[in-house]
Amino acid sequence: MEQTSEKFEERYDLGRRLVEQLGTAETDPTTFELLGLEWDLIPGTYEPRQGTGTEWYTGAIPYPEGGRFLEIGCGAGVTAVWAALRGCAQVTATDITDTAVDSAARNAERHGVADRVRVLRSDVFDALDPEDRFDTVFWNCSVFEAPKDFEFTQDVEWAIFDRGYSALGRYLAQVHDRLLPGGRALVTFNSFGDAGRIAQLAAEAGSSLTMLGSADRQLAGVDVTYKLFEIRPLGR
């Protein structure tokens, strides 16, 4: 289902406003508090704030205790570190920006789980070894669809925009190839994005989406609903 040009522009403009509000003028590392812990933040990394989606879905994910967990688009590494603190034996966290990778690595060190959290710079699955497989794979996807010729000029934009939903399409198409037997593929999406498009992309990838939970939150002062989905092959 293609969204209208007017609706596309409306969503895109909202994404641009969020970039302006969520970006930072800081040039030195800072810290923030979330989930009762303090976290490091390298400027350019998206800062998850209390009462927003990161706080909710990090607590809602069904982590594979004693298993292997992969987070795509890890940002500051809150969810990946939390997975290790909640008993995952091996955690891999990836992000496409160096600033996020640096933030996540610092937070794994800060919270004493650097021996169990591997942080990689990667565009979705590209930097993983071919044989890497996981019990659970998760991505809080970049929810705003950007034009296919969109040029990223700030690191924080990668946490918000996805050119033509191309990264999301690759994630949905490839995620099951990264699972161990019995593994689970998860994605979060929120009401700022185009729900029809994610359903379409899932169907094109031969999958369906089963909602595991939702929560109403605020992001930069705007009401938003976050939803956690399990991605299942069609027929399952």
Average pLDDT over residues 145-172: 93
Per-residue pLDDT, 23: 65
The mean pLDDT value of the chain amounts to 92
Rounded Cα distance between 91 and 137, Å, is 10
Angstrom distance (rounded) from CA 136 to CA 230: 10
- Measured CA to CA, the distance from residue 236 to residue 223 in angstroms comes to 33
Reference 101, options 129, 139, 71; nearest CA is 71
pLDDT tens digits, one per residue of 204-230: 999 999 999 999 988 767 889 999 999
Tell me phi and psi for residue 113, to 5 degrees.
-125, 20
pLDDT, position 18: 81
Whole-number percent of the chain with pLDDT over 90: 76
Q: Residue 185 has what pLDDT? A: 98
**What pLDDT digit, counting tens, does each position of 77-126 carry?**
999 999 999 999 999 999 999 999 999 999 999 999 999 999 999 999 99
Q: What is the pLDDT of residue 176?
A: 97
Question: Average pLDDT in the 45-72 region?
Answer: 94
CB 175 within 8 A of CB 231: yes
CA–CA separation, 42 vs 27, rounded Å?
A: 8
- CB atoms inside a 10 Å sphere around CB 13: 11
Question: Is the model more confident about 1 or about 184?
Answer: 184
Q: pLDDT tens-digit profile of 45-58? A: 998 888 889 999 99
Distance (Å, rounded) from C-alpha 162 to C-alpha 95? 13
pLDDT digits (tens, 9 = 90+) for 126-141: 999 999 999 999 999 9
CB 213 within 8 A of CB 178: no
pLDDT band at 4 (very low <50, low <70, confident <90, very high): low
Q: What is the 3-state secondary structure (H, E, C) of the chain?
A: CCCCHHHHHHHHHHHHHHHHHHCCCCCCCEEEEECCEEEEECCCCCCCCCCCHHHHHHHHCCCCCCCEEEEECCCCCHHHHHHHHCCCCEEEEEECCHHHHHHHHHHHHHCCCCCCEEEEECCCCCCCCCCCCEEEEEEECCCEEECCCCCCCCHHHHHCEEECCHHHHHHHHHHHHHEEEEEEEEEEEECCCCHHHHHHHHHHCCEEEEEEEEEEEEECCEEEEEEEEEEEECCC
- Could you tell me the pTM of the whole model? 0.93
